[in-house]
């Protein structure tokens, strides 16, 4: 009797392990990857040997990220639209910039968390990496509206910043617009948020509940992983309106890149980044899932199936790095004054 019980328990245990491994294998077959456990392995994925990540660069980049003097008005910082306290977004449909101007194309601010894993930056994918991306919003008229020369003058006029750049890059560093924005990008690279989903893929079979695993399976079976894959579960350029017309296509005039491709948003921390889609026209995750079914997959996703998929997506909420709001260095008499005029 005891032997039978032991054998039964062993068989049950084997079934559970086999089931978990099968699901993990299915996830990998769908092209989805985990954020590695090892910080060294993460660093290999995000670091650039030509401009390696260092503590000094990260701290300097963090200050610049939060510094409103990067904008013409000295009111708007990178954190204004990519607020690290609210999922790395601003929580409004269309980004608001210089002079209280809404994005002219009615584009929604994507999250900055895990953006180091994106294969393309901006909704139209026009930037290949974060260092290039960081230059765009600073200069854009409806965003921070600061010409490169003004940014250079502001930062170079602040003695403490000059010393920090020397400490990060050496005494002969030229504090150019490109160096300033690439330093911001180095800080942004560190905004990685591993989740319980990653714990599951990395070997912790109990990291996801039964309902979350069921939602994950449905997520793959419905075809969601065809676009939402890789480490970011998004971040690649994909065709949009493949199977049907997007319900809110008339909101704004954005149609993608020259080939009609649109950057797939990451699903990591998706519960924190409403409203959804490039124009921020959908406010609930349930509706976003159902709209994706009709627009991209040509299927009807029921309320019940949408709820199951949403249960899985909630497991993608990650552990955020601790970011302490920095004390910014003071301006000098030479620092160009704020200009809030349109």
Was 10 annotated as part of a binding site?
no
- 304 vs 71: CA distance, rounded Å: 46
- Quote the tokens at residue 280: 């921020």
Contact 57, 166 (CB under 8 A): no
- Residue 340, classified by CB atoms within 10 Å of its CB into exposed (0-12), middle (13-18) or buried (19+), is middle
What value does the CA radius of gyration of the chain take, rounded to a whole number of Å?
22
What is the rounded CA–CA span in Å between residue 268 and residue 198?
11
224 is in an annotated binding site: yes
59 is catalytic: no
Q: Give the whole-angstrom CA distance, residue 197 versus residue 206.
A: 10
| 237 carries a ligand binding annotation | no
How far, in Å, CA of 141 to CA of 100, rounded?
A: 11
> From the candidates 143, 164, 188, 212, which is the catalytic residue?
143
Task: Tell me if 292 is assigned to a ligand binding site.
Answer: yes
By the 8 A CB rule, do 285 and 310 touch? yes
Chain-centre distance for alpha carbon 69 = 24
- Burial label for 18, CB within 10 Å (0-12, 13-18, 19+), is exposed
CA–CA distance from 155 to each of 63, 168, 189, 197, 296 (Å)?
Answer: 11, 15, 22, 41, 45
CA 238/CA 229 separation, integer angstroms: 11
The reply, when asked if residue 228 is annotated as ligand binding, is yes
Of 55, 325, 44, 322, the C-alpha closest to 186 is 55
Binding-site positions for heme c read: 78, 81-82, 98, 224, 227-228, 292
Report the catalytic residues.
Answer: 143
Binding residues: 78, 81-82, 98, 224, 227-228, 292
């Amino acid at each position: 009797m005891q032997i039978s019980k032991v054998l039964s328990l062993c068989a049950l245990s084997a079934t559970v392990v086999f089931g978990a491994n099968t699901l993990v294998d299915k996830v990998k077959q769908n092209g989805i990857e985990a954020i590695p456990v090892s910080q060294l392995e993460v660093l290999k994925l995000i670091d650039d040997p030509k401009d390696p990540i260092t503590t000094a660069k990260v701290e300097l980049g963090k200050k610049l990220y939060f510094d409103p003097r990067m904008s013409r008005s000295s009111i708007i910082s990178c954190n204004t639209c990519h607020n690290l306290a609210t999922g790395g977004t601003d929580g409004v449909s269309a980004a608001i910039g210089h002079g209280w101007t809404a994005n002219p194309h009615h584009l929604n601010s994507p999250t900055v968390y895990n953006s180091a894993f994106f294969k393309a930056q901006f909704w139209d994918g026009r930037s290949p990496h974060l260092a290039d991306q960081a230059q765009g919003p600073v200069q854009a008229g409806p965003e921070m509206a600061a010409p490169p020369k003004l940014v250079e003058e502001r930062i170079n006029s602040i003695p403490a910043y000059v010393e920090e750049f020397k400490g990060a890059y050496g005494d002969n560093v030229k504090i150019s617009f490109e160096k300033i924005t690439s330093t911001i990008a180095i800080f942004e690279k560190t905004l990685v948020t591993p989740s319980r989903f990653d714990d599951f893929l990395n070997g912790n079979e109990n990291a996801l509940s039964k309902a979350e695993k069921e939602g994950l399976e449905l997520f793959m079976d419905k075809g969601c992983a065809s676009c939402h894959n890789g480490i970011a579960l998004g971040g690649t350029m994909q065709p949009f309106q493949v199977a049907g017309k997007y319900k809110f296509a008339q909101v704004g005039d954005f149609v993608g890149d020259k080939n009609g491709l649109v950057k797939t948003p990451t699903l990591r921390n998706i519960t924190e980044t409403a409203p959804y889609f490039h124009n921020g026209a959908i406010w609930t995750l349930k509706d976003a899932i159902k709209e994706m079914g009709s627009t991209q997959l040509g299927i009807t996703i029921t309320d019940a199936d949408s709820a199951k998929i949403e249960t899985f997506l909630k497991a993608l909420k990650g552990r955020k790095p601790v970011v302490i709001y920095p004390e910014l260095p003071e301006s000098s008499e030479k620092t160009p004054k704020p200009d809030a005029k349109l």
